[in-house]
Amino acid sequence: MPDTFQLPLFPLQTVLFPGGVLPLRIFEVRYLDLIQRCQKEGAPFGVVCLTQGSEVRQAPGEAASAEAFHPIGTLAHIEAYERPQPGLMLIRCRGGRRFRLLRSEQMKHGLWTGEAEYLADDPVVPVPQDLVPVRVGLQRLLQHMQAQAQPGDELPIQAPLQWDDCGWVAHRWCDILPVSPQLKQQFLAVDNPLIRLELVGDLLARLKIGTGPE
């Protein structure tokens, strides 16, 4: 069994994939403290997808449901950090390794922490011929985004571009597909990158999202 480690958790109504880009606007005290500490220490935090509850704590007097989240998440490494005004942080994170929570605990001030183990990194698996249209569709979509982008826009697909890697192509599709966080979470939990890309290809066909021959 791999060594376990402790990490602070950031439950969100979204899924972060390895290599993905996640911009966040932080204003809750519990997360301001968390992000400031991670930034100072150069340490990541864990993003987990909510199954119950809200990203923002309810104001006093409002009904609130307890927070619950999936046990499989992704490390978030802070790449850009800005404090435009007191009580507000703007950050951009990059997805790192996947992990599985073994246990989690909510502290008195509301911050979650967990004990986790790493999940295996994807092996690099070349895109097979029958899935080349899935890769080509993503390449065309990125070209369209680049053509439409204005100066200063940050695209959701960023270098390094790994077009012949099943896991990377599947993750980048998952970043941008208009599907529920719960479905994206299912893709995140798939350990085999080739199977993950096959599932993405099936989903694209069902959604009638264009892929094309090379």
Query: For position 14, what pLDDT does the model report?
Result: 95
Query: For position 213, what pLDDT does the model report?
Result: 54
Query: For position 186, what pLDDT does the model report?
Result: 97
Residues carrying CATH 2.30.130.40, the chain: 4-118
Any idea which architecture 4-118 has in CATH?
Roll (2.30)
Annotate 181-193 with DSSP letters as a single string. Answer: HHHHHHHHT---H
129-207 topology per CATH: Methane Monooxygenase Hydroxylase; Chain G, domain 1 (1.20.58)
Q: Which one-letter amino acid corresponds to residue 56? A: V
Q: What is the mean pLDDT of each run of 10 residues along the chain (214 residues)?
A: 85 96 92 92 96 68 70 97 92 97 92 96 96 96 93 89 97 96 97 97 90 55
Query: For position 62, what pLDDT does the model report?
Result: 45
Residues carrying CATH 1.20.58, the chain: 129-207
CB 101 within 8 A of CB 113: no
Query: For position 1, what pLDDT does the model report?
Result: 44
Query: For position 63, what pLDDT does the model report?
Result: 41
Helix (H, G, I), strand (E, B) or coil at 2: coil
Query: For position 130, what pLDDT does the model report?
Result: 96
Q: C-alpha 47: how far from its chain's center?
A: 7
Tell me the pTM. 0.90
- List Cβ<8 Å contacts ≥24 apart for 105-111: 106/67, 109/29, 109/30, 109/33, 110/28, 110/30, 110/57, 111/8, 111/9, 111/30, 111/31, 111/33, 111/34
Query: For position 116, what pLDDT does the model report?
Result: 97
